[in-house]
Amino acid sequence: MAEISSAERMVEAILFAARKPLNARQLAARLPEGVDIAGALATLQARYTGHGVTLTRVGEAWAFRTAADLSHLMREEVEEMRKLSRAGIETLAIIAYHQPVTRAEIEEIRGVSVNKGTLDQLIELEWVRVGRRRMTPGRPVTYIVTEAFLDQFGLETARDLPDLKEMRAAGLLESRLPPIVTNKADETILEEE
């Protein structure tokens, strides 16, 4: 086994003890000046490949996580404090797939108004945050998903979300579409995005 450098040891120790994923700036604040953080992260990620824990990128941050194929061993029966409502799930999905998106755009896609409590709950869960204001009349705020959302769902970026074809293949959507919509339309929409 190759010798581990002091930089790798320090980065490994910080990430192992961290409660939340840390980005390079947060690591740099805790490390001596001149430490090659990117190099240490790359080496550690390669070193932990195939182990019970892996070094995983979460957005722009990094964290140690249980290997995906062993996650079933870590499951505990935990009583959920609150379930997301159907409106919450729909709103979260719209934000994840269409971000940055305004409240009016969410309402247009859903076809019904969005309760302020729904957005507040997603913000409280730290899965959604307020993004930049649009440079349009009224300067509406936009909503985007957070690194906590990416971490919760095991994604590196929002672009890693499954597309319609992948969800159908996994059996998460009906393979038969309503008569108004055709498969060709889905492909065109996906290509445009």
Give the residue among 102, 101, 96, 68 at the shortest CA–CA distance from 163.
96
Domain ranges of the chain: 6-68, 81-161, 162-193
pLDDT in tens, the chain (193 residues): 567 788 999 999 999 999 899 999 999 999 999 899 999 999 999 999 999 999 999 889 999 998 888 888 877 655 555 688 889 989 998 999 888 999 999 999 888 999 888 999 999 999 999 999 999 899 999 999 999 999 888 888 888 887 767 766 666 555 444 444 334 444 433 444 3
The answer to pTM > 0.75 is no
The residue count for the chain: 193
Indicate the CATH number for domain 6-68: 1.10.10.10
Structure tokens that stand for 79 in this block: 């009583």
Task: Specify whether domain 81-161 bears CATH 1.10.10.10.
Answer: yes
Domain 81-161 in the same topology as domain 6-68: yes
Q: Which amino acid is at 175?
A: S
Residue listed under structure tokens 């008569």: 179
CB 8 within 8 A of CB 40: yes
Task: Round to whole Å and give the CA distance between 165 and 158.
Answer: 17
Task: Round to whole Å and give the CA distance between 184 and 188.
Answer: 6
